[in-house]
Amino acid sequence: MYPFKEGQFAVQNGWYVIAFSRDIKQELVSRWLLNQSIVLFRKQDGEVACLSGLCPHRFYPLAESRLQKDIITCNYRGISFNA
Q: What's the pLDDT score for residue 13?
A: 76
Query: What is the number of other CB atoms lying within 10 angstroms of the CB of residue 39?
Result: 22
CB distance 53 to 72 below 8 Å: no
Q: Which residues of the chain have pLDDT under 70?
A: 1-4
How high is the pLDDT of residue 2? 61
Specify the pLDDT at position 1.
53
CA distance 47 to 72: 15
Q: How confident is the model at residue 79, as a pLDDT?
A: 94
The answer to whether 40 touches 19, Cβ cutoff 8 Å, is yes
Domains of the chain, first to last: 21-82 (2.102.10.10)
Q: What pTM does this model have?
A: 0.81
